[in-house]
Amino acid sequence: MRVYLGSDHAGYELKMHLVNHLIKQGHDVVDVGPHVYDPEDDYPAFCLHTGAKVVADAGSLGIVIGGSGNGEQIAANKIDGVRAALVWRTEIAQLARQHNDANVISIGAREHTLDEATAFVETFLATPFSGNPRHARRIGQLAEYEAGRPELPALPEN
C-alpha cells in the first residue's frame, strides 16, 4: 500500500521511525517532508501536501504528525476529499477506518511512545472500511456538502 507521511519538527523523529518501519513492512512509502529537522518549520504545508497526495492517489493512505496532532488534523482536513482523524488509541485508529473511511490519521508525537504510535499506524493500515450503509450514507453527506458547499443541512426538529 502507498502511504504518504508528513510532519513538522515536533513529529520529525516519529515520522522517520514510521518511514523506516513501513518500508520494512513492504509498504510503498512517500515522505512528504520535512526531509531535515528544522525547529522553526510549520506544519500546514506538509499536512496540506500529504492530504492532497492521498486524495490524488486512490487507495493510498496518509499520516500527519505533530506535537499534539490537532493542528495537523485540521490542516489535512482542509483538502477536499480528506477524512483525517486524530488517533490516540488503537481502537480509535480502527474505528476511524471502519466507520469513517478515514484516509489520513494524525498522531501527536509528544503524546505517545514510538511503540504506541506504531501500533496506531499498523491498525489504521490493516483495517478496511466496513461498507456499512449507514456509515457510507454519512460519508456521502459530507462529500456532497464538500463538493458543492451548499447551505448547511437542516437540523432535525425535536
Which are the catalytic amino acids? 72, 99
DSSP characters for 92-145? Answer: HHHHHHHHH--SEEEEEGGGS-HHHHHHHHHHHHHPPP---HHHHHHHHHHHHH
Distances (CA, A) of 12 to 35, 56, 95, 109: 9, 24, 26, 9
Rounded distance between C-alpha atoms, residue 55 and residue 90, angstroms: 24
Distance, C-alpha 144 to centroid of its chain: 20
Asked if 72 and 64 count as a contact pair (C-beta separation under 8 A), the reply is yes
Rounded distance between C-alpha atoms, residue 125 and residue 27, angstroms: 10
